[in-house]
Amino acid sequence: MRVLGGIALLMASLWMAFPTAVRAQMEFSLDEVDEGKTKPAQKSEDRGDLIEELAAGDDTGEGPVEPAPQHAEIAEEIYAVQQIYALRLKRFELAPSAAFTLNDPYLNHYGLGLAANYWFTNVLAIGVNFIWYDWGTNPLDRGTSLIPQIQDQFRLSVPINDWQMGLWANFTYVPFYGKFKVRKKIFQWDSYLIGGVGFMRTEPIPVFDSEVRSFNWQTNVAFNVGAGLRIFLTRYLTFFTEFRAYMWPDQFENVEVTPGPGRNDPSTWLQSGSTFVANTSIQVGFTVFLPVKFEYRLPK
Amino acid sequence: MMTLSRQTLLRISSMLALALCLLLGAGLQRDLSSASAQDVQVSGPLAGAAAVRHLRLWREMRFHLEPFFAFTFGDEYSRSLIVGGEARFHVLDWLGIGGWGGYSVATLDTNLTQQVQDKGVTTNINRLDLPSRENFPDQVGRLNWWSGVEVHFTPFRGKLAMFQKVFVDADVDFFVGAAFVGVEERANAVGRPVPGDVTFCEIDGVMDPGCLGSQVARSKRVAIAPSFGVAFTAYFKKFMGIALRWRGVPFKYNAAGTDASQQRAPGWGTIDSNDRTRQFNQMFSAGFIFVLPPKIKTTD
């Protein structure tokens, strides 16, 4: 409950912190172009800056070129290159989200997550993400209809682990970005790849000898990879959805019950080996870029 | 471990959802009314000009032919690997109609199927559900072929940059229609002498000791179901592109090949149509698009 309240408070405080003046600054129209500052672009390799590259276009000539004397009037079409709608460079990103597991046939897992990233280039970020799954409910109350079905029809029990939380450090890379038009609005979007390492805390649910066995949360090294899509609603607020595969070696309850005194020996309660678990999930949420205000550095 | 009641959790979730909606609703109202995402607000000499000039018409009055490879996911007992094709004709750039079809060239049993095969137990109580564990993969339902007709809407289109080097046109295609699926299920059988204490089966009046023949007896039918989905398409040449597509085809069939009827409900003690349960069949496909005629038109 504290986590839920914390997330709500965080989002509310972030929202309240945005001054009206900032929103006015983020209006996008031709009026915001400062003609006095606009200068021709130079070769983009100087700074590796995306804006410069886009502004420079195909002009790959070496060094300054003296304009040739103009002897005749020419009717040349001039193209205006639009600035990137929202820069990520040197901004923090906070992303609360809800996580829905897709591939666990036995238990439904509902997670609330929070991610924080720092964009050290316009396309690369480093950060962490955290997901909390344990809401204090009996995990078997979240069981799917498959559990009683396989128990009745196949006389089969399967070892099941519940999840408490996961924390990962990640790299994010944005290889694709673009824009699409809906009626008279143009939405900017990007697609990103993400991956990292961290840990996942899980706990076996006693099924095979529940009278004797009880388990504690265990921490497992976990990896994750994923891909996501982010749509900019404003220059600092985006909607995102992402597909993530969280993977870790997990230890499940031993399906064999040792007869005699060994039954009470906790060292016999878990399977000897680990099982590779892949939790594929869809996460949906919003991201807030901070600071909400940013400045373009136009090429000299 | 702290335990919260379902009502408390529901209340917290509702409050959180309400807070999120209010927060985002208020924010979007303020921002979208001013300039977001990115209103086309043009004053001066460009006022009233078309939002896009020389727009490439990838779809209008053109055929799209798309060979694809697909796989189903989320299946409980058996996944399908599908090879197929799709043809579409677009009367407008945002509206088209098409048909698709595919054949399941291979199936992959899930981990649950493997576990039942390895560890399932047969008694007279569940003999109708699992006559023998070794042959369990032969009793599960399979989806052999797929086809359908669909209407396509393409409301979003734009362009994207890949790795800041390659710039391509792209669109998002939503589609809805009807699908026809070739389903292969366990054939009808009656457990004898009484439900819940089965020693043999009866198939069309013929005795089947141990139900072993019933386990592998198959019947085929065509299931008609709604189909819907979304696709992302990117065009690399004037006549060629790629499509990544998710499609959902929900319908009922006997996926496990068991007697899924509740005790004393109609169909209890028999394998029949009452044992079909709703399955949200979904697939992901990747395909190449060939566009005809190859020459592309543009707007003014």
Quickly state the pLDDT bin for B74 (edges 50, 70, 90): confident
Take residue B210 and report the two structure tokens written for it: 């141990």
Take residue A264 and report the two structure tokens written for it: 């009470």
**Mean pLDDT, residues B120-134:** 94
Task: Name the residue with higher pLDDT: B10 or A14.
Answer: B10
Q: Which residues of A touch B110 (CB under 8 A)?
A: 105
DSSP lists the bridge partners of residue B234 as B170, B242
Contact A135 B123 (CB under 8 A): no
Per-residue confidence (pLDDT) for residue B275, from 0 to 100: 93
Phi then psi dihedrals of residue B279, to 5 deg: -125, 130
CB B51 within 8 A of CB A35: no
Count the alpha carbons within 13 Å of A149 in the hemisphere toward its beta carbon: 20
Sign for the CA dihedral angle at A60, A66, A72, A73 comes to positive
CA B101 from centre of chain: 14
Count the alpha carbons within 13 Å of B274 in the hemisphere toward its beta carbon: 15
Contact B4 A136 (CB under 8 A): yes
To the nearest whole Å, the CA of B32 is away from the closest chain A CA by 8
Per-residue confidence (pLDDT) for residue B160, from 0 to 100: 77
Per-residue confidence (pLDDT) for residue B102, from 0 to 100: 97
Per-residue confidence (pLDDT) for residue B87, from 0 to 100: 98
Per-residue confidence (pLDDT) for residue B13, from 0 to 100: 67
Residue B20, amino acid:
L
Per-residue confidence (pLDDT) for residue B89, from 0 to 100: 97
How many Å apart are CA B77 and CA B144, to the nearest integer? 14
β-pairing, A275-290 vs B189-194, is: unpaired
Give the mean pLDDT of chain B: 87
In this complex, which of A53, A141, A154 lies closest to B116 when CB atoms are compared?
A154
Per-residue confidence (pLDDT) for residue A298, from 0 to 100: 62
Take residue B283 and report the two structure tokens written for it: 């697939």
pLDDT digits (tens, 9 = 90+) for B213-230: 999 999 999 999 999 999
Task: Name the residue with higher pLDDT: B297 or B40.
Answer: B297
Phi then psi dihedrals of residue B263, to 5 deg: -60, 135
**Mean pLDDT, residues B169-193:** 94
Take residue B258 and report the two structure tokens written for it: 């068991």
Query: Is a pLDDT exceeding 90 seen at residue B258?
Result: yes
Task: Name the residue with higher pLDDT: A177 or B279.
Answer: B279
Task: Name the residue with higher pLDDT: A6 or B102.
Answer: B102
| Segment A294-297 long-range contacts (CB within 8 Å, at least 24 positions apart) | A294/A86, A294/A87, A294/A89, A294/A90, A294/A91, A294/A235, A296/A51, A296/A83, A296/A87, A297/A49, A297/A51
B34: which residues sit within 8 A by CB, 6+ positions away? A23, A24, A27
Sign for the CA dihedral angle at A23, A28, A30, A32 comes to positive
Contact B42 A29 (CB under 8 A): yes
pLDDT digits (tens, 9 = 90+) for B61-71: 999 999 999 99
Per-residue confidence (pLDDT) for residue A179, from 0 to 100: 80
User: Quick check: helix, strand or coil at residue B93?
Assistant: coil
Residue A231, amino acid:
I
Going residue by residue through chain A, which has 300 residues, state the pLDDT in tens, using 9 for 90 and above.
444 454 454 445 444 443 333 333 333 333 333 333 444 434 333 333 333 444 444 444 444 455 555 566 666 666 666 677 788 889 999 999 999 998 888 899 999 999 999 999 988 999 999 999 999 888 888 888 888 889 999 999 889 999 999 999 999 999 888 887 776 778 888 889 999 999 999 999 998 998 999 999 999 999 999 999 999 999 899 999 999 999 999 999 998 899 988 899 999 999 999 999 999 999 999 999 998 887 777 655
Take residue B212 and report the two structure tokens written for it: 């072993």
Per-residue confidence (pLDDT) for residue B207, from 0 to 100: 93
Query: Is a pLDDT exceeding 90 seen at residue B7?
Result: no
How many Å apart are CA B69 and CA B59, to the nearest integer? 22
Quickly state the pLDDT bin for B165 (edges 50, 70, 90): confident
Q: Which of B18, B31, B34, B38 has the highest number of chain A CBs within 10 A, making it the mutation to test binding with A?
A: B38
Model-wide pTM > 0.90 = no
Eight-state DSSP code of residue B15: H
Contact A102 B74 (CB under 8 A): yes
Per-residue confidence (pLDDT) for residue B238, from 0 to 100: 87
CA-based nearest residue to B132, from B50, B242, B220, B209: B209
Task: Name the residue with higher pLDDT: B250 or B9.
Answer: B250
Helix%, strand%, coil% for chain A, nearest 5:
20, 40, 40
CA-based nearest residue to A147, from A178, A106, A187, A179: A106
Helix (H) / strand (E) element for A202: namely strand A185-205
CB B130 within 8 A of CB B136: yes
Contact B159 A102 (CB under 8 A): no
Helix axes B111-119 and A146-154, enclosed angle (nearest 10): 30
ipTM: 0.73
Per-residue confidence (pLDDT) for residue B118, from 0 to 100: 92
| E-only strand ranges, A210-295 | 218-232, 237-250, 275-290
CA geometry: angle at B100 spanning B99 and B104, to 5°?
Answer: 160
In this complex, which of A12, A26, A188 lies closest to B23 when CB atoms are compared?
A12
